[in-house]
Amino acid sequence: MSENTSEKPLAGKIALVTGASRGIGAATAKALAARGAHVVLVARKVKDLEGVEDAIHDEDGTATIAPLDLTDGESIGRLAQAIAERWDKLDILVIAAAQLPTLTPVTQIDQKQFNEALTLNVLATQALLAAFDPLLKRSDNGRIVALTSSVGSEPRPFWGAYGASKAAFDNLVESHAKEVERISETRLAIIDPGATRTAMRERAYPGEDPQSVKPPEVVGDRIAELLVSDFPNLHRERVETPR
């Protein structure tokens, strides 16, 4: 078996990861790069993206930073055009970026925060799927990994705003997966990372001991392993804490 297929099974693959500046997005980007993919890192903060890029380069991986605001639909289109011009395809799209509004009763939801969450969690997702669908179809086996939350399907008190956005997110990505499966090789997996040590988790559970939940690297490695082993369309999985 060659080095490419054994140590770098994703060599030659182009991957784009949103929310790549920290948490699960950053961990996933590093895990994909470690397996040979060239990773396009997408988030708003340049300095944080550069830190992830440096960490990837330190491990002999390759990455390109693409700082942009995903709530700006036109910027997503420009990024897709740039990737098309440089590589002419996209093999892997990981949708990890998300926004958590303040946890509050439904009757007290802040409309501005709710709108921001819907814009990033739902509208930006549709824009990503629309912009990168042609490039994923140019891949021999385009793969999409969409990170969800259990509150999208299991409503919880005070989580109504975020849960509603994730319910819409799930419906959107599932619909897309069913639309493309008969006309392309593109396949989609929906991953619930479960309790994970992230800034979003800390905001939601400020009194929790961070060491009591798994680090984002566990989720990133699982996503990378899933992409290496491959999956059927609409694969669903919850990443549990290792024992």
The tens digit of pLDDT for each residue in 114-164 reads: 999 999 999 999 999 999 999 999 999 999 999 999 999 999 999 999 999
Boundaries of every domain in the chain = 3-238
Amino acid symbol at 152: G
pTM beyond 0.85, yes or no: yes
Cα 226 to Cα 8, 35, 138, 229: the distances in Å are 14, 12, 21, 5
CB of 16 within 8 A of CB of 83? yes
3-state secondary structure of 30: helix
Whether 162 is a known active-site residue: answer yes
pLDDT of residue 243: 63
List, edge to edge, every strand of the sheet that includes 143-147.
Answer: 62-67, 38-43, 14-18, 92-95, 143-147, 187-192, 235-238
Residue with tokens 């309790």: 195
Given 162, 167, 224, 227, the catalytic residue = 162
Low-confidence spans in the chain with pLDDT less than 50: 1-3
Picking from 133, 154, 152, the residue whose alpha carbon sits closest to that of residue 144 is 133
Sequential DSSP letters for 170-196: HHHHHHHHHHHTTTSS-EEEEEE--SB
Please provide residue 2's backbone torsions phi and psi, each rounded to the nearest 5 degrees.
-75, 165
Q: How far is CA 139 from the centre of its chain?
A: 19
Cα 138 to Cα 36, 90, 157, 186: the distances in Å are 20, 7, 43, 9
Q: What architecture is domain 3-238?
A: 3-Layer(aba) Sandwich (3.40)
